[in-house]
Chains A and B, each alone.
Chain A
Amino acid sequence: MSKLKVVHYINQFFANIGGEEKADYQPELRDGFVGPGMAFNTAFGEEAEIVATVICGDSYFNENLDTAKKTVLDMIKSKSPDLVICGPAFNAGRYGVACGTVAAAVKEELGVPVITGMYKENPGADMFKAKVYIASTKNSAAGMRDAVKIMAPLALKVAKGEKIGASAEEGYIPNGIRVNFFEKERGSKRAVNMLLAKLAGKEYVTEFPMPDFDRVTPNPAVKDISKAKIALVTSGGIVPKGNPDHIESSSASHYGKYDIEGVTDLTAATYETAHGGYDPVYANDDADRVLPVDVMREFEKEGRIGSLHRYFYTTTGNGTAVASAKKFAAEYAQELKNDGVDAVILTST
């Protein structure tokens, strides 16, 4: 098998052209490896080889973003590489942004496998970690040897389209995609060790950093409920008997929309729950307990509400990813608006 062709992107400093005074250095394409490329070539062994290096000054790149990006990309493309490596940039901010910009463009515009590397606090890390694999490196060039040890195998895996493991295994900066893997110790032992470290004021790494939690501000009250058209929406899994659209009992992949025109009561013969997270006995016995169609019809008759919307929307909230729930809601909320619904009663389980 022939070696994979690699193009390496580095800045003026790592190309030994100069420091800050040469940061306006314009893009240059050189055959073969330059500077840190040697360490990569050694690490790649028989599997891959750097065929060309693109060098660009950090100031030049950031101050002429569009033209510099285009020139660099054209240079990379001209070598038709199987893999591109950018940096590593360690904690150099402008270099990090340049590496991230080039890497993202190589992936999106050229469709060529690519990775970069930088220190976790490099501004480029936050900007590009969700777009390309960024190997987590130390904060200075003294960490080059360690960086290559992580980047070379990761780059080869990406180039060959192999399965990429969890960030903790592969050494990339967490990119928001949770990946399962087997730890060396069981969870309870990790918890005990983490607590001992926390108690001793020592450094420890949480396995799940808390997200910024989405809090929803309630809408203002409905002005005149006796005129309002009200819809029922539930995550309690109420469906027509037999679950015609096969909504999953957990981790729902879709929601259902069902016509309740003329329906005044949900009975054990007509409706049931598909939800797998609670005892279904009582919901199956009388689905109004979860989706109160009976009471809404009474209120409608008594004029306490304007009307009950003709359709109800339903899914199972059990184990359903927040992202899926958000997607469902974005769709049916628009439909509800289009149908002139004034208010929605959301029921859970």
Chain B
Amino acid sequence: MKLELGYIHINDIQFGPESKVQGDVLYVNKDEVRAMLLEDETIASVDIEIAKPGDSIRITPVKDVIEPRVKVEGKGGVFPGIISKVETVGSGRTNVLKGAAVVTTGKIVGFQEGIIDMTGPGADYTPFSKLNNLVLVIEPVEGIKQHAHEHATRMAGLKTADYLGKLAKSIEAEEVKTYETYSVTEGLKKMPDLPRVAYVLMLQSQGLLHDTYVYGVDAKQSLSTLICPTELMDGAIVSGNCVSACDKNTTYHHLNNPVIEDLFEKHGKELNFVGVIITNENVYLADKERSSNWAAKLAEFLGVDGVIISQEGFGNPDTDLIMNCKKIEAKGIKTVIITDEYAGQDGASQSLADADVSADAVVTGGNANVVIKLPPMDKVIGHPEVANKIAGGWDGSLKEDGSIEAELQVITGATNELGFNRLSAR
């Protein structure tokens, strides 16, 4: 499967009478977007704001971040099974509005959403401070249940990203990158001497607002399966979860999965990137056993020499991570796992909730318990008071002057376990 990504670099975002991409500026007609979103009868009101790199703006509580993309050639459309029809995506050409994003906010659960600071020390920890963000402040109708609220917010984000992406449909991209994976036999013939590597991508699927969708299917109801890496680039995997902000994989992360990018970088040169095994992180022990058995079996079935395993979330999913690692190593396949740590505010505690000697190659995204200070911002988009309640905050985290003292956990994407960032710990 071969996909070309056409990058259209966006360096500014502005409101205007007409939604369009002109040069490196993304213009958005606010009313048009609002009218589109208000078609959903579960949404009472939508506020649309802009947050650019360097702005003295804090966005909270953040639910998801989505990159606008559009299919230019090839089958299907972005976010198949949700926004577009269930056609297999991942081939042809897709245009990307690089540097732009849609950020959704909403007090859905109250403790499972995060913070994005566009400037200051907090900005260093989140990749989304470097983007030109269109922020949707979504208020649901009275009396709505959290699950329906989550659904409404998720759909609003995806719809808006799709709407913005379509503005770039007929633009000739200035930069094009090609990604190609081969069938198992083709790959063997083309790269007989290179080590064969797969990527085991663990998807948050604990349920009850901790869900991820693959082609519209709730990942907790699926067995571990295979997916072509380029399918993710067209939005085959979508985040639908509210978990601790620092190590949840937003839709933006799935679209720009860094393990996939970096494996492609060495593909055909130092390794043969065979494909992606997706597996879930369900709560029942039987599910954990079954899913990890299947992940290991699929890795063996593909006959790979090594795998990279990435995690989402912490605590309970540490068990899934260690099961996957242990069972794949037991098949004689070498593993590297990517996780993050909860070593306490002083860094002295045990970092993971599970461990095994076979996990001897670990990459860490840092200690999420570390306390950070976020200075006040000129403007807050959303609800600043959630800082006292969100995972990583405590009663009194939000100070009178608007500054926040809390654990790194509160920052969206800070200790990402796909290895999206440079943050680490020793």
Contacts and interface: CB of A to CB of B under 8 A. Distances in A.
B368 A183 contact: no
B258 A186 contact: yes
Nearest to A243: B395
A134 B145 CA distance: 56
A71 interface: no
B142 interface: no
A189 B356 CA distance: 23
Contact of B315 (A279, A281, A318): A318
Q: Is chain A's interface secondary structure helix, strand, loop, or mixed overall?
A: loop
B195 A188 contact: no
Interface string B230-252: 00000000000001100000000
Interface in A184-198: 184-192, 194-196, 198
Contacts of A249: 111, 389-391, 393
B244 A276 contact: yes
B416 interface: yes
Contacts of B50: none
A166 B343 CA distance: 14
B39 to A, nearest CB: 26
Interface in B369-408: 369-370, 389-395, 407-408
Nearest to B111: A276
B26 interface: no
Contact of B423 (A176, A180, A195, A200): A180
A82 B265 CA distance: 51
A207 to B, nearest CB: 5
Contacts of B416: 187
A217 to B, nearest CB: 17
B392 A250 contact: yes
A278 B206 contact: yes
A179 interface: yes
A248 interface: yes
B426 interface: yes
Contact of A210 (B207, B357, B407): B357
B359 interface: yes
Interface string B334-363: 111011011111111111111111011111
B391 A196 contact: no
Interface residues of A, number: 58
B355 A177 contact: no
Nearest to A248: B394
A166 B364 CA distance: 13
B362 A207 contact: yes
A187 B348 contact: no
Contacts of B348: 176-178, 323
B352 to A, nearest CB: 8
A168 B426 contact: yes
A186 B426 CA distance: 15
A249 B417 CA distance: 21
Contacts of A250: 111, 244, 390-392, 407, 409
B112 interface: yes
Nearest to A204: B361
B425 interface: yes
B363 A191 contact: yes
Contacts of A324: 344, 349
Given A210-B360, A277-B315, A199 B334 contact: yes
Given A195-B334, A211-B355, A279-B210, A251 B407 contact: yes
B136 interface: no
A321 interface: yes
A253 interface: yes
Given A180-B425, A198-B306, A251-B345, A208 B369 contact: no
A181 B306 contact: no
B31 interface: no
A241 to B, nearest CB: 15
A166 B426 CA distance: 6
Contacts of A207: 362-364, 424-426
Given A199-B334, A248-B394, A322-B350, A279 B146 contact: yes
Contact of A187 (B363, B367, B370): B363
A181 B370 CA distance: 11
B179 interface: no
17 contacts: A182-B422, A183-B424, A185-B422, A186-B420, A187-B417, A187-B423, A192-B263, A198-B336, A248-B393, A251-B392, A277-B243, A278-B208, A279-B109, A281-B146, A281-B208, A319-B409, A321-B349
Given A182-B124, A186-B421, A208-B341, 8 more contacts: A166-B425, A187-B258, A187-B420, A187-B424, A194-B363, A210-B356, A319-B407, A321-B343
Interface of B: 109, 111-112, 124, 145-147, 195, 197, 206-210, 243-244, 258-259, 261-263, 265-266, 270-271, 305-308, 310, 314-316, 334-336, 338-339, 341-357, 359-370, 389-395, 407-409, 416-426
